[in-house]
Each structure stands twice: as structure tokens, then as C-alpha cells.
């Protein structure tokens, strides 16, 4: 039995989940710009609810981005702190993949394009084949302008996420028959995506819990 704590804060939501074998407990809430203050209380509440301590877990998974700059940093930093404290391995997973897999709870559909509004007239985009708690990558996560979207295999795509502010361009490029903007990445999906990695012993040390931004100019601007 594998026990995983999972965190997801890269968008405008905050969610925490504990996977204990086949059971998953999750706390999820809308928390625009409040992830920093909400995530640790949510972790503490969920540990209490599950009657587990950090030391009884097998690892910590987190949505490593892409997403909002601050939100992506929050998940990575909190994961590092908790993992150092309990000497636990960590695994980062794509937040876009977590969004695609999360869509299965309300709109079951195998082929999913997940898109986030990256601001500055661009979107984060990744494409996945979702089945049985797994999101297999069809097209790697990337940062794109709506007028220069990448070519994808012809499929009956479901498009989900905040990047649907560019719905017209996305539907024109991919001919999607289904679009749903109100789909968010959940920590439950982060745990599901990380499970096989932990079972294969692929968790890494806490200092390697690094965010994935996909936009160099934002990082450079933040450093100045």
C-alpha cells in the first residue's frame, strides 16, 4: 500500500489530497492568490482527518507547473519543506496533465487538450490520452501564441481549462466538439499521476522539487 500526500496550487485553486491505497481524501477550494496562506492548514486538516502523520507517508507529489508564477512556487516550496522535515521522496507532475485527468471526474473523455491562460497573450498547452487514472502524454507541455498553435493528431478532442479564453483559435486549430473552461487541476489527480513513479522508487530528494515555468522572461523579471 502506497501513501502519498499531493499538493496542487498552480492556478486559482488550492487542493491537497492523501492517497492511502485505493482511498483518496481531498480538500479543494477556490483560492485566487491565497494559496500561500491556505495550503499548510489544508495539509494539517487532511492529515488529521486521515489519522496519519507525515512520517507514515511514502512520498509527496506536487503539481510542478506550468501555471501562475507564485502558485507554482508555493507547491514546490511547501513540498520541499515537508519533505525535508519527514525525510520523504518527492515527485513533481505536470499541472496540465493533472487538469486533463481531473476532467475525467465530470466529463469522461479519452483525448484531452489542457490549456491555461498564461497571460501576455499566450497559453500553456499540453495534450493527453486519459484512461484508468493515467494521462499519457500525446504532446509535451509548451507555451504558445493562439495564432501559432502546434499541430496535433486528428482526434475527437476535449479542450479544458482557463486557456479557453482563446476558444475560437483552439477550436479552429483542433476542431474540438467539447470545451469546458471550468475544469481545474486537482491534487487527487496529482497523486494518481505520481503513484507509479513512487511504486517504482523514482521519488527524488526534497531539494529536487523544482517548479516548471516554461516562460524564461517571467523568471528573469522576478529575479531582478
Specify whether domain 96-180 bears CATH 1.10.3720.10. no
Does residue 139 surpass a pLDDT of 50?
yes
List, as one string, the DSSP characters of 19-79.
Answer: EETTEEEEEEEE-TT-HHHHHHHHHHHHHHHHT--GGG-SEEEEE--SS-HHHHHHHHHHH
At residue 222, the pLDDT reads: 39
Mean pLDDT of the chain: 94
Element (H, E) at 179: strand 178-180
Residue 218 above 80 pLDDT? Answer: no
Assigned CATH for 3-94+186-223: 3.30.420.40
Residue 223 pLDDT exceeds 70: no
Where do the structural domains in the chain lie, given as residue ranges?
3-94+186-223, 96-180
pLDDT digits (tens, 9 = 90+) for 181-197: 999 999 999 999 999 99
- At residue 176, the pLDDT reads 86
Q: What is the pLDDT of residues 20-57, one digit of tens each?
A: 999 999 999 999 889 999 999 999 999 999 999 999 99
Residue 48 region by backbone torsions, left for phi larger than 0, else alpha for psi between -120 and 50, else beta? alpha
- For residues 138-150, give the mean pLDDT: 97
Taking the model in full, what pTM does it have? Answer: 0.94
Predicted pLDDT at 215: 80
Amino acid at each position: 500500500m502506497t501513501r502519498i500526500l499531493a499538493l496542487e496550487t498552480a492556478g486559482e485553486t488550492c487542493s491537497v489530497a492523501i492517497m492511502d491505497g485505493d482511498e483518496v481524501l481531498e480538500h479543494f477550494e477556490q483560492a485566487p492568490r491565497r494559496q500561500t496562506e491556505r495550503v499548510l492548514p489544508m495539509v494539517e486538516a487532511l492529515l488529521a482527518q486521515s489519522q496519519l502523520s507525515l512520517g507514515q507517508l511514502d512520498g509527496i507529489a506536487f503539481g510542478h507547473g506550468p501555471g501562475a508564477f507564485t502558485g507554482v512556487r508555493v507547491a514546490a516550496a511547501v513540498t520541499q519543506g515537508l519533505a525535508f522535515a519527514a525525510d520523504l521522496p518527492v515527485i513533481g507532475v505536470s499541472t496540465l496533465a493533472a487538469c486533463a485527468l481531473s476532467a475525467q471526474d465530470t466529463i469522461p473523455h479519452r483525448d484531452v487538450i489542457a490549456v491555461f491562460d498564461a497571460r501576455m497573450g499566450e497559453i500553456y498547452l499540453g495534450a493527453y490520452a486519459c484512461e484508468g487514472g493515467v494521462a499519457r502524454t500525446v504532446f509535451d507541455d509548451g507555451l504558445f501564441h493562439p495564432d501559432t498553435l502546434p499541430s496535433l493528431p486528428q482526434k475527437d478532442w476535449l479542450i479544458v481549462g482557463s486557456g479557453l479564453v482563446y476558444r475560437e483559435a483552439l477550436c479552429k486549430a483542433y476542431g474540438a466538439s467539447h470545451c469546458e473552461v471550468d475544469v481545474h487541476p486537482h491534487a487527487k489527480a496529482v497523486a494518481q499521476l505520481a503513484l507509479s513513479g513512487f511504486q517504482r522508487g523514482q521519488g527524488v530528494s526534497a531539494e529536487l522539487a523544482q517548479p516548471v515555468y516554461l516562460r524564461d522572461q517571467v523568471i528573469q523579471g522576478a529575479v531582478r
